[in-house]
Amino acid sequence: MKNVLITGTSKGIGKAIMQELEASGYRVFGQGRVPLDKENYLSIELNKSENAKILFDCAKKYLGNIDILINNAGAFLYSGVENTTRDKVENLCTLNFITPYLLCSYAVSDMKKNNWGRIVNIGSISGVVGEADASLYSATKSALTGLTKSLALELALNNITVNQINPGWVETNLANEALNEEEKSEIEQIIPQKRFIEPKEVAKLCKYLISQDAKGLTGQSINLCAGLSCGC
């Protein structure tokens, strides 16, 4: 069975992906900020670029080689552009884009050697349609889309696919803590399906994208958003 490195697995979407893949027989190494007593997990911050190599080396030591990379870790920032400090710009760009880029650069060596690989980047619908007062977040997720498409072309002849999933509003503890019931209801009214996406939906799409059945899918940016990207 294939070996998988997933970032941001302590909760939410990343936790759902890890559970789904482990249940399907994949060997998985996860990362998160929350300390967990698990052999196949490293608690480390990824808003420092040097930590990308530390994480990769730990995962490789545990797994042996990396067949599949899922870049899920990321953060949201709600801030008007005039109120966004340089430190916030650097931290969010590192976490949402530079670290995924570096992990791709490290993992590709194993994938090329084995002439097989899968990379899935978790973006956001905000990187597709934009979001007022979240310009930095939207920009980092748009950058991830550019990386996905370019790497798909670069690695196509190595039997390596690179795809991206762009979730809309997702039913997570983070969303529920950030929104009160009235705010959540208002958001649901502008979503065509009138609901938030479940983390397991992202996990199951991720599982398909890394499967052999999806070998012809590469360079794609898939909006999993209950129709939000289509308008309202």
Question: Which residue has tokens 């349609």?
Answer: 129
Looking at residue 146, what DSSP letter applies?
H
Question: Do you know the residue count of the chain?
Answer: 232
- The pLDDT tens digits for 5-53 are 999 999 999 999 999 999 999 999 999 999 999 999 999 999 999 999 9
Q: Which residues contact 214 (CB under 8 A, 6 or more apart)?
A: 161, 163, 208
Least confident of 17-31, 123-137, 210-224: 123-137
Q: What is the dihedral sign for C-alpha 163, 173, 136, 129?
A: positive
Largest CA distance in the chain: 52
Average pLDDT, the chain: 93
Q: H or E segment at 192? A: none
Q: What per-residue confidence (pLDDT) applies to 203?
A: 98
**pLDDT for 134-186, tens place per residue?**
789 999 999 999 999 999 999 999 999 999 999 998 998 767 766 788 888 88
Q: Which fold has domain 3-224?
A: Rossmann fold (3.40.50)
pLDDT in tens, 44-80: 999 999 999 999 999 999 999 999 999 999 987 778 8
Q: What is the pLDDT of residue 169?
A: 87
Cβ(159)–Cβ(115) below 8 Å: yes
CA distances from 14 to 59, 109, 174, 188 (A): 16, 24, 13, 23
Encode pLDDT of 74-98 as tens digits. 987 778 888 889 999 999 999 999 9
How high is the pLDDT of residue 232?
Answer: 58
CB distance 123 to 25 below 8 Å:
no
Q: What contacts 183, CB < 8 A, 6 or more positions away? A: none
Q: What is the pTM of this model?
A: 0.95
Mutual orientation of helices 135-155 and 99-114 as an angle, nearest 10°?
20
CA nearest to 147, candidates 206, 93, 86, 201: 93
